[in-house]
Structure 1
Amino acid sequence: MRRNGRLGKALVLAVLLGLTMTACFGTAGSSAGGGKPVVFSNTGGALEKLFKQNAYADLSRKGITVSTESPNNEAKLTAMVRGSKPTWDVYYSTPYAAMAKCGTLFEKIDYSRIHTGGLDKSQMTDCGVPVLNSYFVLVYNKDTYKSHPPRSWADFYDTKKFPGTRGVMNFAKDAGMETALLAGGVPADKLYPLDYDKAFATLDKIRKNTRFYDTGAQQTQALQSGEVDMMLAWPGRAYDAVKNGANLGVVFNQPIKYHDVLTIVKGAPHQDQAYALINSLIGTKNQKAVVDQQPYGAANSKAGKTSDAAIGAFVADDTKAKGTVVVRDNAWWAKNLDEATRRWTKWVNG
C-alpha cells in the first residue's frame, strides 16, 4: 500500500511536470507565425486538417495564431484546471461533459459574443457551443452478407441469423447499451434511463463474437481489413475505410444522433481569442468545408449538406432513417456517465 502511494505521488508529479513543460515550450501541432495566440485541444485527424485549412487560416489573417494539441484528454484538462495553470483555451468536448463540468472545468459561455445564426438552440448549453452533428450507425461488410444484409440493431445482436465478428468501441458512451436496448425491443422514447441489466443481457449475446476498440484509427483498420463483419460505427471512420477499399453498407434504422461541442477552459489565458476561434469553427465557411469532405452534419444549418454522393452515403438524416432517429439524452449522460462507465467496464472485463 505504501508503495502504491509513492507511485501515485510520482504520477501526479509527472503530470504537473508535463503541464509545466507544455506551458514553457508550447503545444504539439502549433501553427506557424506570430500574432495573438489561442490553444485548441481537439480530436486531431481529418477534422483537424479541415479546421487548419479553413478556420485557422482565416484567424491567421486576422492576427490570431492557433496552436493545437490532441488528443483532447480530460484527465490532463482536469489537472490543468485544478493546478490553476491551464495552457489550453478551447476544448473539443461531448455535450454531456460540458454540462456535467460546467463552471468547474469550463467557463460559462457569453452568447452575446457567439454568432448563433444557424445553430440549433436545443444544442446550446451554458458551457457548450454545438460544432458538429453525427450518428452512431450499423455498418456491415457487403462481401460477408451479400444478399442477406442486416437491417436493424436486432440483427446486429443476433449471431445465429447473422454470424460473424462484431466491432464495438470500448466506451460506455459509444451507444453499446442504447443499441442493445433497442435490439431488445425497448421503444426509443422509453430508452432513458438506461436499464443496465436488460442492456447487458442483450450484449451478452455477442460477447464472444465482439472485438473492442479504443481509437477511431483502430475502427477504420478493422473495417478496412475485414477483421470485423459488423461495426457499431462512427460514420467518418467507416467512410475512411471505404476510401481505402472496404466494401461496406450502412443501416439507417434507428441511428443514434449525437453532437459535439466547443468549450472554453476554466481560467483560459486567451479568452478573447477563444471566442474568435469558436466563431470561426462554427462559421459557414468552416462548417461547409467539413460537410463537403466528411460524413457529418453541420451544426450551422447555413452550411447545408454535401453534394458528394460517396460522402452522403454515410450521412444519416430523418429521411434516410424514415422517422426512426434516436436522439441521445445528454442530460441523462451528464448525470450518469461515471456509473455507466463503471458498469460497462465491469461487463467488458467480466
Structure 2
Amino acid sequence: MRLRGRLGTALVLAGVVGLTTTACFGQAGSSGGSAQSVVFANTGGALAEVFKQNAYGDLSAKGITVSEESPNNEAKLTAMVQGGKPTWDVYYSTPYTAIGKCGTLFEKIDYSRIDTSGLDPAQMSECGVPVLNSYFVLVYNKDKYGANPPTSWADFYDPAKFPGTRGIMNFAKDAGMETALLASGVPSDKLYPLDYDKAFATLDKIRSDVRFYDTGAQQTQALQSGEIDMMLAWPGRAYDAAKSGAHLGVVFDKPLKYFDVLTIVKGAPHADAAYALINALLGQRNQQAIVDRLPYGAVNSAVGRSSDPAIDAFVADDAKAKGTVVVRDNDWWAKNLDEATRRWTTWVNG
C-alpha cells in the first residue's frame, strides 16, 4: 500500500480541547475479557452525536467504554504531552496538524492495525487517518439576492456588484486567503504557495462588509438570523441554519476540498482501545450514518452519498462543481500554519 507523504507504521490521533465536558458512552466489560476505556477529544456537536449512536455501540459490545472531551484544544493537548501524562487517547484533528506535529504530539500510526479498505491513500499520513470529507463553500441568502445570486468567489469579494454583509471564520485555516486568491484569478493549480499580499488586497475590498466568527455555532446563528448575507461556510453549519428556517443557496464553483483526520496522542495510555475506536469510526456503519445525517462525505469508498435532498443540497462534489474542485495543500499548511496565522491576524487587526 502506497501512502502519501511521510507515512510510517504507527497511528496518531490528534485532538483539540479548551473548555472540557466529559461524557461516557457504552458498557464496560464483556464476556471475552476485562473492561477497557478510551478517551476521545473531538469537536462535539452533531458529528459527535453520530459517533456516539453508531461507532461507540460497536465498541461497547467489545467491552470498550468511550469517554468524550470537547471542544478539543491543541494548547491543552500540547501541555498534556509535554507534561508526560496525557489523558486523551484519540484526537480529532486537521490533516496538516497531524503532519506538522507527527512524532511530537502524535504517535505514528501502525497501519497494520487499521482497516484501510476503502480509504484514499493520498489522505493517509504517518500520524493521521482520514475520517470525514468536506468542502468550504459560498452560501448566500436567497431572499437577499433573489433572481441575481452570486455564482463565484469573485462575487463574494465584489461588494459593489453584490452589496451585503459577508461572514468569514476568523482563522487563517478557514479559506479566507485561498478564496480571495481564487477570486482574483489565481489558477487552482497555482494556489500554493499562497501569495499573502495578493490575497489581502482582495480581502481589503470587503473589509467594511465582513464579520468574523470564532465558532461554528456563531456561523449558524448569523446565517439563521439574517445578520449575514453571504458566508464562506462550513456546510454542516449552513445546513443547521437551513433546518432552522434560513432560506439559503449554495455556490459550487471552485469549492475548496478539505478532510479531517483521527490521530493517536503521543504517549496515549490506552493505545489498543484507541485503534479499536479508529476502526469503529472508519467502519461502514458509522461512515454511512455521517452522510445520512450531515452534509459531509464519507472517507470509506464503500459508502454512498446521502439520499436526503435537504442534506445533499449542501454537499459539494466533482459533478456539482463541474470539474472546478480545489484541493487544499496540507503539506504547505503543515509548514506554514504559524506564518499564515500571523499574517491573517495582522490583517484582521489592521
TM-score, normalised to structure 2, is 0.92
Amino acid at match of 1:307: S
Q: For residue 71 of structure 1, give the secondary structure of its aligned residue in structure 2.
A: strand
Report how far residue 303 of structure 1 moved. 1.4
Report how far residue 301 of structure 1 moved. 1.0
Q: For residue 65 of structure 1, give the secondary structure of its aligned residue in structure 2.
A: strand
Q: Which residue of 2 aligns with 1:156?
A: 156
Whether the aligned pair in 1 keeps the contact of 2:38 and 2:66 (CA below 8 Å) is yes
* Aligned mates of 2:41, 2:346 — CA distance in 1: 30
Q: Which residue of 1 aligns with 2:22?
A: 28
Q: Which residue of 1 aligns with 2:302?
A: 302
Mapping for residues 6-155 of structure 1, pairs under 5 Å? 28-31=22-25, 33-34=27-28, 35-155=35-155
Q: For residue 307 of structure 1, give the secondary structure of its aligned residue in structure 2.
A: coil
Q: For residue 278 of structure 2, give the secondary structure of its aligned residue in structure 1.
A: helix
* Deviations, residues 102-140 of structure 1 (Å, cap 9, x unaligned): 000000000000000000000000000000000000000
* Aligned mates of 2:72, 2:204 — CA distance in 1: 31
Q: Is 1:181 aligned to 2:181, yes or no?
A: yes
Amino acid at match of 1:330: N
* Aligned mates of 1:126, 1:315 — CA distance in 2: 28
* Aligned mates of 1:28, 1:152 — CA distance in 2: 41
Q: Which residue of 2 aligns with 1:7?
A: none
* Aligned mates of 1:278, 1:33 — CA distance in 2: 18
* Aligned mates of 2:157, 2:191 — CA distance in 1: 17
Amino acid at match of 2:284: T
Q: Which residue of 2 aligns with 1:10?
A: none
* Aligned mates of 1:74, 1:228 — CA distance in 2: 29
Q: Which residue of 2 aligns with 1:247?
A: 247
* Aligned mates of 1:97, 1:29 — CA distance in 2: 25
* Aligned mates of 2:291, 2:118 — CA distance in 1: 15
Q: Is 1:260 aligned to 2:260, yes or no?
A: yes
* Aligned mates of 2:224, 2:343 — CA distance in 1: 30
* Aligned mates of 2:221, 2:98 — CA distance in 1: 30
* Deviations, residues 142-166 of structure 1 (Å, cap 9, x unaligned): 0000000000000000000000000
* Aligned mates of 1:33, 1:131 — CA distance in 2: 24
Q: Is 1:235 aligned to 2:229, yes or no?
A: no
Q: Is 1:288 aligned to 2:302, yes or no?
A: no
* Aligned mates of 1:71, 1:299 — CA distance in 2: 23
* Deviations, residues 38-95 of structure 1 (Å, cap 9, x unaligned): 0000000000000000001110111000000001100000000000000000000000
Aligned length: 327
Report how far residue 282 of structure 1 moved. 0.5
Q: Is 1:330 aligned to 2:330, yes or no?
A: yes
Q: Is 1:209 aligned to 2:209, yes or no?
A: yes
Whether the aligned pair in 1 keeps the contact of 2:26 and 2:60 (CA below 8 Å) is no
Report how far residue 218 of structure 1 moved. 0.3
Larger deviation, residues 175-184 vs 30-39: 30-39
Q: CA RMSD in A?
A: 1.2
* Aligned mates of 1:146, 1:301 — CA distance in 2: 37
* Aligned mates of 1:51, 1:30 — CA distance in 2: 12
Q: For residue 23 of structure 2, give the secondary structure of its aligned residue in structure 1.
A: coil
* Aligned mates of 1:324, 1:170 — CA distance in 2: 25
* Aligned mates of 1:303, 1:103 — CA distance in 2: 31
* Aligned mates of 1:127, 1:173 — CA distance in 2: 19
* Cα gap change, 1:185 to 1:242, in 2 (>3 Å): same
Q: Which residue of 1 aligns with 2:223?
A: 223
* Deviations, residues 301-338 of structure 1 (Å, cap 9, x unaligned): 11111111110010000000000000000000000000
Q: Structure 1 or 2: larger helix share? A: 1
* Deviations, residues 181-233 of structure 1 (Å, cap 9, x unaligned): 00001000000000000000000000110000000000000000000000000
Report how far residue 32 of structure 1 moved. 5.5
* Aligned mates of 1:290, 1:189 — CA distance in 2: 30
Report how far residue 31 of structure 1 moved. 2.2
Amino acid at match of 1:56: Y
* Aligned mates of 2:304, 2:142 — CA distance in 1: 30
* Aligned mates of 2:108, 2:26 — CA distance in 1: 30
TM-score, normalised to structure 1, is 0.92
* Aligned mates of 1:282, 1:33 — CA distance in 2: 21
* Cα gap change, 1:54 to 1:32, in 2 (>3 Å): closer
Amino acid at match of 1:156: F
Runs of 5+ in structure 2 lacking a partner? 1-16, 29-34
* Aligned mates of 1:330, 1:229 — CA distance in 2: 30
Runs of 5+ in structure 1 lacking a partner? 1-17
Whether the aligned pair in 1 keeps the contact of 2:26 and 2:64 (CA below 8 Å) is no
* Aligned mates of 1:236, 1:338 — CA distance in 2: 26
